[in-house]
Amino acid sequence: MECTVTLSGTASATITITSRHGDFTYWVEFEPGTSEHHFDIIDSPVDQIRLQIANKSEGMIAIKKLVVDGIDLQHCILKGTFYPDYHPQYYIDATPPNSYCPGTEWYHNGEWCMDITKPLWEYMLNNYA
């Protein structure tokens, strides 16, 4: 499946894009602003798109758009979950949640995951209708 993700933000970070069943890894050195990134994932009936955020500077990064095989899944990205990797000091000062859904804005390092199934029209119907 051909994918395009649009990211926007005020922070810089290293972002690794993978999928549950894929044997690829796509790295992005994200800089503040807005940018599109193209990648392919294996055409599996059930999969998961994963974006890992590491070495994030002060500020935030947000996923703005996800297109898979020419179909805009913008509304479905709200089904994605962000699993933050908090700094250990943060646990002393607060009791943060283990995950955020929707998790489209990232203020910490961590991983954003979204399950996806084929055919895409059925996925859209089940997750957006």
The b/e string for 44-75 (b: 16+ C-beta within 10 A; e otherwise) is: eeebbbbbbbeebeeeebbbeebbbeeeebee
Query: What is the model's pLDDT at position 129?
Result: 56
* Average pLDDT estimate for 80-108: 91
Bridge partners of 80, per DSSP, are: none
Tell me which residue has tokens 């709200």: 78
pTM score: 0.88
Domain 2-128 fold is: Lipoxygenase-1 (2.60.60)
Q: How confident is the model at residue 128 (pLDDT cuts 50, 70, 90)?
A: low
Alpha helices in 1-129 (DSSP H): 88-93, 120-128
Residues 92 and 22: their CA atoms lie apart, in Å, by 37
Q: Is pLDDT above 80 for 23? A: no
Q: Is pLDDT above 90 for 21? A: no
Q: Please tell me whether the peptide bond between 119 and the residue prior to it is cis, using omega within 30 degrees of 0.
A: yes
